[in-house]
Structure 1
Amino acid sequence: MKLTPLCALLMAALCNAAAAAPAAKNVIFFLGDGMGATTLTAARIFKYKEEGLLHMESLERSARVKTYSNNAQTTDSAPSMGAYMTGIKINNDVISMADARPVAPARDANGNPSIDQCGAGNGRAAPTLLELAKARGKAVGAVTTTEMTHATPASTFAHSCDRDAGYSIAAQIVPGGAGYNPALRDGVDVLMGGGRHHFTPFDRVRNPTGRGDGRDLLGELAAQGYAVAHTRSQMLAAQPGRKFVGIYSDSSHLDYDIERRAEQPSLSEMALKAVDLLAPDPDGFFLMVEGGKIDHALHDSNASRALSETIAFDDAIKAVIERMKVLDPGLRNTLIVITADHDHAISMNGYGKRGNPILDIVRNYTDGQPARDADGKTFTTLVFGNGPNRLAQRVDVDSKAALQRDYHQESGVRLKGETHGGGDVKLFATGAGSQVFKGTMENTKVFHLMKQAFGF
């Protein structure tokens, strides 16, 4: 049937309206810090064997993301997360600011780098997705296994010329206090992570890396109506209806999952609690969840802990999706996006036989015997392109050593510490509006697609 011009116009208007309508009331963004493609593959084999899948890999949408920053082929976490949160390319070491150059903080009288030296006119704050969600009345939260002021969480709620300005970044999330970020309106609704020293006063014995300005930011947050938790049990007892901050480590990041102390919650527990606290908001919510210690283990050339952290991150994704399917059947109003900020210099090499433990030495697929290099030495399946573990002369690696939790894989180029890699990373998505995540895209486009799903 041929449409009349009027009908054609009406149909076009209806289609355009449907396309423009917001798809998602809620957006949950998962970030596996340093979780490049090789780490994903190795974690899959580590837990589920070659034929298995990680939970995130079973989602219906996937894409490939380019990670370079404004001034570097290989990004650090700050500009990559900033790209996801602001939609612009940012210089390395800079937190959610356009055209800013990094300026490391100066040390205070206690020897701690707590004096912000960014200065006026050094770049401009770029609105983050968390800030945009807050401005539209949504509840917002950030959860991490790193310090709360670390590059990834900071890029959701703060603006700084240098990622190491943790003390001033902490001040940006205290409503009404000096240095507060007014774009957060009445405050971030849920905050969880480590690094309590950035929030509490210096004490030469009890808190030697504490705040030189003497402020107790956790006390200030409590005075603003926040429930403040220091332990897992305090977190689990928190009830919806109040803003919440949980800082579960005195002076650094949270523990690796396989060594986690009883008083620290797991990433799955933190993410589920955040959902429970944010979901009652009638306007919906935005939540960022970071598995940050994948990156730490890789910098340490320690594949065992990196894979365990990736599995813990994947388990948190599964737990949250299951919870959201109860709260929002079919995820009709919820978009869930999972990706990484950058790759690492880890490589899976050799021609190992199927079923060989991924952390073991390479065993030939032909006869199961240990593979050997040109000098007749054994080697592990996982190695690093760079890092501190390059011997002047290689020696045999045996399975007993390679399979230990504390084994540090060998590297090709000797550096003091292993670096990030510049490779693309994977993205997975499900739920409302997820159909647009496909192909190879800039990391900045991820921001625009999430913003589009929200209808902003």
Structure 2
Amino acid sequence: MDLFSNLLLSRLWSKVFAKSLAVTLIVSLLSSGLVIAAPSASPITVLPIDNAKFALGQKFDFLIEVKGAASSAMTVTVNGQAADQYFGKPAVAKLDGTLGTYRVNDVAFTKAGKIEVTVQAATQDGAKTRTVRYDVVDTAKKRAKNVILFIGDGMSLQARQMARILSQGLTEGKYNGLLEMEKMSNLALITTSGYDSLVTDSANAASAYATGHKSVVNAMGVYADSTKDPFDDPKVENIIEIVKRTRGMATGLVSTANITDATPAAMVAHTRRRAEQNFIAENMLSAEHRPDVILGGGSRHFLPKSVPGSKRTDNKNLIEEFKKQGYVFSGTKSDLLDTPSNATKLLGLYQLDNMNVYIDREMLKNPKVLGGFNDQPNLMQMTKKAIDVLSKNPNGFFLMVEGASIDKQLHAVDWQRATYDTIEMDKAIGIAKEFAKKNNDTLIIVVADHAHGASITGTYHELDGKSGREAVRTYADSILPTYEDKDQDGFPDDPNPSVTLAVHFANHPDYNENYQFKEVPTVPAIMANGKAVANPQVKGEFRPGNIPASDSSEVHSADDIPLTADGPGADHFNGIMDNTEVFFGIVKALGIDGKRNLK
């Protein structure tokens, strides 16, 4: 070996040794707790957060918090001008103990472009400065008259695929067809994290769609401040408010969940805590965001506490209050289908809490499972009725339709029920597409709010006497499933055929797995002495949990989710996009001029 080769080899070994030493040192420091901590976060919080994006004229509350404030005095500028002068409203500055705040409510940016906010404040650790930047975009170029937003709660790519397999089937490896949601012109991948956590919940995720702004777990329509009050957090104008204010459009919410649950509530509500469902129900009456159509479950938050099953703490009858506002009420499928043809406002509540899932509601019809609610509409009927009512408004409409129990059944590791509800939502999407074909002025968007860690390993059968994990068929052994759909309605006749899918979960509690469809909805785990343990009612192979024992259900994942779109404005959606961009795709398609009727 020549001298040059020796020198080169020596240098390479030196680099390898140095890297090895660095890795060893890091591991040693980690184990001893001596790793130097990252610099602490700034004591100055600016809400809305850094890099927030606004539609021109979109209203919001502006809040500065300074932890360890030495005084309430602080300097706040927007593009070099004092904030109160820039917004044309007096600011309210307070010092509560060691927390200094500066707040201006109900403001908006009236010029498109870049915004720079600088805060200078005196703290116990000396003078501090923070700068954040915003982007304001003009969306006043109309392309669509209507927008229908379908949200399959928890509908990851794998959930779509399960629905395609069961609904369309395969012949010699090729799918016999695609779902309605898959036969759309544009496809994007959506990232889902909130600004507080990698993995989101439905409230935070749906709030991003409704406002174009990030929030935190459990929050909707707000940025989270440091107080405990769930109703004082700085608000951001949501999609229903902005289309009603600027265009007088009709608006609607349809869901198979409790209608005050996270996803539908995020389209209208402003609260740090999604659990405030009594407040959310009553707040739906507020004129600035009162939907013209409200269809789903959740009557327990609208009925006075004197009515059995009510969860209200007062005797307000919100159903009667909606009737006074001109709403036609329906409590059953029969009522819904008999809605007068001239109705322009509609409230329908078909269960005390979440509506029953498709399999239980439309197929098994077990009275004990339905709990007396034997005449519930399906998502297709609710979607069609909502479109019929809303399309009477000459200014157009915005409609959000949620397939809610895709998520709720995946939490219960019940992929079969989740899949039939995915198919149900796909059928509702087909109804919306038929409407859009006749009018050519409607943007349809189909997306999830977050993902779940369910994945298809192969197929499962016991035809050769094997059972449990030994009956999971992988690779060449994963023969095609044997679902049948004799009436060709898209829903397999039997959710438990001889050859079914082998679905596994990446993020689950202790539970027992037998790969069989459960005739009655059953939770995977129950709480015992503060820990989640496998539900003994389910017989099967024990699966040790891989999430904290405080969680008794399967949990969300951080996976990106697919979005498909069709119609005028669909070209906004392509590539990898942040979830807040769904809002901007909507207002851009509608050509919303946020400065209209801005007070």
Which TM-score tier does this pair reach, normalised by the shorter chain? 0.7 to 0.9
Any conservation in 1 of the 2:192–2:450 contact (CA below 8 Å)? yes
1:103-118 → structure 2 map (5 Å cutoff): 117-118=229-230
2:308 counterpart of 1:207: yes
**Structure 1 residue 241 displacement after superposition:** 3.9
SS of equivalent to 2:187: strand
Q: Is the 8 A contact 1:299 1:418 kept in 2?
A: yes
Which of 447, 450, 460 aligns to 1:339? It is 447
- Is the Cα contact below 8 Å between 1:297 and 1:305 reproduced in 2? yes
- Find 1:240's aligned residue among 342, 360, 365: 342
Query: 1:99-140 CA deviation, whole Å, 9 max, x = no partner?
Result: 34695xxxxxxxxxxxxx5253xx212111111111111111
Q: 1:436 aligns with which of 564, 572, 584?
A: 572
Judge conservation of contact 1:386–1:411 (CA < 8 Å) in 2.
Answer: no
The equivalent position to 2:322 in structure 1, one of 203, 218, 221, is: 221
Amino acid at match of 1:346: A
Which deviates more from structure 2 when the two are superposed, residues 418-427 or residues 127-136?
127-136
**CA distance 1:347–1:412, shift in 2 (3 Å):** farther
Structure 2 residue aligned with 1:166: 277
Q: 1:183 to 1:87 in 2, by over 3 A?
A: same
1:155 maps to 2:259? no
- Per-residue CA distance 1:138-179 (angstroms, 9 max, x = gap): 1110100001100001011111110000000011112xxxxx
Check if 1:132 corresponds to 2:245. Answer: no
Could you report, residue by residue, the CA deviation over 1:289-332 in whole angstroms, capped at 9, with x for unpaired residues?
00001111001010110111100011110112113323x0xx2x
Map of 1:32-431 to 2, 5 A cutoff? 32-50=152-170, 51=175, 52-100=177-225, 117-120=229-232, 123-135=233-245, 136-174=247-285, 180=286, 182-184=287-289, 187-203=290-306, 206-238=307-339, 239-249=341-351, 251-260=352-361, 262-326=374-438, 328=439, 331=440, 333-349=441-457, 361-367=471-477, 381-390=502-511, 397=514, 402-404=516-518, 413=546, 415-431=551-567
Deviates more, 1:125-134 or 1:236-245: 236-245
SS at match of 1:252: coil
TM-score in terms of structure 2 length: 0.61
Report the structure, 1 or 2, having the larger strand content.
2
Letter of the 1:296 counterpart = K
Higher mean alpha-carbon deviation, 137-146 vs 41-50, is at 41-50
Cα deviation for residue 352 of structure 1 reads 8.2
8 Å CA contact 1:94–1:100 kept in 2: the answer is no
RMSD, aligned α-carbons: 2.6
Distance in 1, Cα, partners of 2:479 & 2:343? 61
User: Cα deviation per residue 1:329-383 (whole Å; 9 max; x = unaligned)?
Assistant: xx2x111101000001212225889xxxxx995324435699xxxxxxxx97211
- 1:78–1:101 distance in 2 versus 1, CA, 3 Å: farther
Bigger mean CA offset, 90-99 vs 263-272 = 90-99
Report the AA paired with residue 347 of structure 2.
Answer: V
3-state DSSP of counterpart to 2:204: helix
Alpha-carbon shift at residue 53 of structure 1 (Å): 1.6
Q: Structure 2, unaligned stretches of length 5 or more? A: 1-138, 362-372, 462-467, 481-499, 525-539, 593-599
CA distances 1:233-287 after superposition (whole Å, capped 9, x unpaired): 11112233431111111x2110101211641110000000000000011111100
TM-aligned CA deviation for residue 386 of structure 1: 2.5
User: In terms of Rg, which structure is larger?
Assistant: 2
Give the counterpart letter for 1:383 in structure 2: H
3-state SS of the aligned residue for 1:335?
Answer: strand
Aligned residue pairs total 388
Q: In the alignment, residue 311 of structure 1 is paired with which amino acid?
A: I
Q: For residues 343 and 459 of structure 2, what CA distance do their matches in structure 1 show?
A: 56
* Contact 2:299–2:310 under 8 Å retained in 1: no
Task: Tell me if the contact between 2:231 and 2:271 (Cα under 8 Å) persists in the aligned partners.
Answer: no
Instruction: Report the 3-state secondary structure (helix = DSSP H, G, I; strand = E; otherwise coil) of the residue aligned with 2:394.
Output: coil
Contact 2:194 2:200 in 1 (8 A): yes
Residues 102 and 226 (structure 1 numbering): CA distance in 2 closer, same or farther, change over 3 Å?
farther
Shift, 1:37, TM fit:
1.2
* CA displacement at 1:444 relative to structure 2: 0.3
